[in-house]
Amino acid sequence: MKNQKLTWQEIVSRYPDRWVGLTNIEREEHSADIKSAIVVCTSDTVSEDKMLEMVFNGELETSIFTTPDNNFQLGAIQ
């Protein structure tokens, strides 16, 4: 990863179905949606737990899954 600012669509295209650790986030006006950011790490290189630790330590602004519609959460069915 380079210190290159990418649009959200570029991030999703380059890192589909992954957690990404972001800095320098620019948000859409009047929205929480990400317009652009710098990708510091992905779940290919850093565990999700480590990314969360990095957020708490101020090394990342956030970590987010790029394609949540493809991430199925299974629960117990009784």
Per-residue pLDDT of the chain (78 residues; tens, 9 = 90+): 668 999 999 999 999 999 999 999 999 999 999 999 999 999 999 999 999 999 999 999 999 999 877 655 554 555
- Asked if 13 and 6 touch (Cβ cutoff 8 Å), the reply is no
pLDDT of residue 70: 65
| Residue 26, φ and ψ in degrees, nearest 5 | -115, 130
Residue 67 pLDDT: 85
Residue-level pLDDT at 42: 96
Alpha-carbon span 40 to 21, nearest angstrom: 5
pLDDT computed for residue 3 by the predictor: 83
Residues in CB range of 7: below 8 A, 6 or more apart? 35, 36
